[in-house]
Structure 1
Amino acid sequence: MARRLGAALVLGAALAALLAGAAAAQDGPSALAAEGGLSLRVVQLFLIVTVLSLAPGAAMMITCLPFMVIVFSILRQAIGLQQAPPNMLIMSLALFLTYFVMEPVFADAWRAGVQPLLDGDVTEAQGFERALEPFRAFMEARVSPAAVDALAAVAPARADAGGEAPLSVLIPAFMLSEIQHAFEIGFVIFLPFLIIDLIVASVLMAMGMMMVPPAIVSLPFKLAFFVLANGWIEIAGALVKGYGT
């Protein structure tokens, strides 16, 4: 009885192995196709993660975010506050103002490149080129010709014969132009607070209070001046209007 049971088990195992081999032979092409589809999805997921990881750098390169951050940082320094508002709050405010300014550009890039790519009407390269065109137009409207000429002179081989600067020249020139513009605005913002510091220092000197730090005494006056002038709204509005929004 035991021998019959063992033989039956061995025969059943052999039949199962044969059936599995036949099924694998029949489903071989479909299995390979499924594996190929899985590999394609893995590559797409990898590309998406890569793009998301590069998004902060792209935001710093082709938007007005550097300009906003520098101006608000200079404003905080001019008032005399070291940690108020904190860096996270300054960055958050700059991000939302950047979104406010760049929203039409984002919408144009979506309609021109991203949406046709999702619909399958264009290839990845065509979608990228179309999505980049609104950002190129935005940068060309803000970039300083002197910065473009300086970078093009360093690498004349990259200059486009048609007069359109390549991205390798346009993006750094745009960033340099935005930094320079932010410093110019920062100089104008700094002047009234510097005058308050000089007045307070002169009054303290006249009163013989040379041991009292002028920065501590002038801080309440600078805060009062900034609040009464509605400084945050005025500066934010001026920065946004500077982009024609």
Structure 2
Amino acid sequence: MIARTLRRTPPMVWTALIVSMAMISIAMPAEAQGLPALSLTQPGGENGEVTYSLTLQVLALMTVLTVLPSIVLGMSAFTRIIIVLSILRQALGTQQTPPNQVLVAVALFLSFFVMQPVLTELYDTSLSPYLDGNMPATTALESGSKIVSEYLMGNTRQNDLLMFSELSGEGPYASPEDVPLSVLLPAYITSELKTAFQIGFLLFLPFLVIDMVIASILMALGMMMLSPMLVSLPFKLLLFVLVDGWALTMGSLASSFMGG
């Protein structure tokens, strides 16, 4: 029953659990995992007292869970997608439409779509053998980290990677497999920010042209008291709908990931 429940758990959840296990194994030696960090004794029970203990392993897991969302989102396609969608909303001039909750939901589901090949490979090569007892935990963590590193490396700019490797003082590296996550992760996030702003700039240009044309027309007609943003909004929405802007934006974002 437990094994079937574990196998039915979504791969994204297992990715988060694998990252948590990796951080715990790094931050805490194996011989200290069962060491009680907190004990509480109260009267009662057969021997006259009841003892509750909290191990360091559980304490470390609770600590990792507080930063786990940032870790998972920073290692996925979410950063690029949410930035592009936010810039697109600002270019349209629709204020809070779509609302933040909708943008986050769209970015999250599109991230699942982009990361699906990586998550499937992670589940088939690392998690499933570990749950079946055919692979030890350390080997599963090493295999999973290699898969994640391949995705991060495939979507990281070489200049950003060289910059952080020089800052760390550990480079140059003989092969991409030798790059540690401590260098690869900041390089990946920096590269994602740059790519997101480049895509956002290209999306912003046509709407900027419409704003400039409308402002020039209003100026020529002497309607200086009328807001150009208010007049240009329906034209921008019309253009966006006619070219099927949402489908084009989603498709372009999904295809921009080489590792997806």
User: Normalization by structure 2: what TM-score?
Assistant: 0.73
Larger radius of gyration: 1
- Residue matched to 2:134: 121
**Does 2:83 correspond to 1:58?**
no
Q: 1:156 to 1:147 in 2, by over 3 A?
A: same
Amino acid at match of 2:204: F
- Residue matched to 2:208: 194
2:164 is aligned, of 151, 172, 179, to: 151
- Paired with 2:211 and 2:113, the residues of 1 have a C-alpha distance of 34
- Paired with 2:236 and 2:185, the residues of 1 have a C-alpha distance of 37
* Greater per-residue strand proportion: 2
- Deviation of the 1:61 alpha carbon: 1.6
Considering only aligned residues, what root-mean-square deviation do their CA atoms show, in Å? 2.4
- Residue matched to 2:154: 141
- Residue matched to 1:182: 196
- Residue matched to 1:232: 246
- Deviation of the 1:52 alpha carbon: 4.6
- Residue matched to 1:86: 99
**Does 2:119 correspond to 1:106?**
yes
- Residue matched to 1:70: 83
Instruction: Give SS of 2:170's match.
Output: helix
- Paired with 2:238 and 2:211, the residues of 1 have a C-alpha distance of 13
- Deviation of the 1:160 alpha carbon: 3.9
Tell me if the contact between 1:117 and 1:127 (Cα under 8 Å) persists in the aligned partners.
yes
- Paired with 1:133 and 1:39, the residues of 2 have a C-alpha distance of 36
* Greater mean deviation of Cα atoms: 56-65 or 215-224: 56-65
Tell me if the contact between 1:74 and 1:190 (Cα under 8 Å) persists in the aligned partners.
yes
- Deviation of the 1:45 alpha carbon: 5.6
- Paired with 1:168 and 1:88, the residues of 2 have a C-alpha distance of 31
- Paired with 1:160 and 1:191, the residues of 2 have a C-alpha distance of 39
The number of residues matched between the two structures is 210
Q: Deviations over 1:8-49 (max 9, x none)?
A: xxxxxxxxxxxx99xxxxxxxxxxxxx9xx979x66665665
- Deviation of the 1:53 alpha carbon: 4.1
* Greater per-residue helix proportion: 1
- Deviation of the 1:118 alpha carbon: 2.1
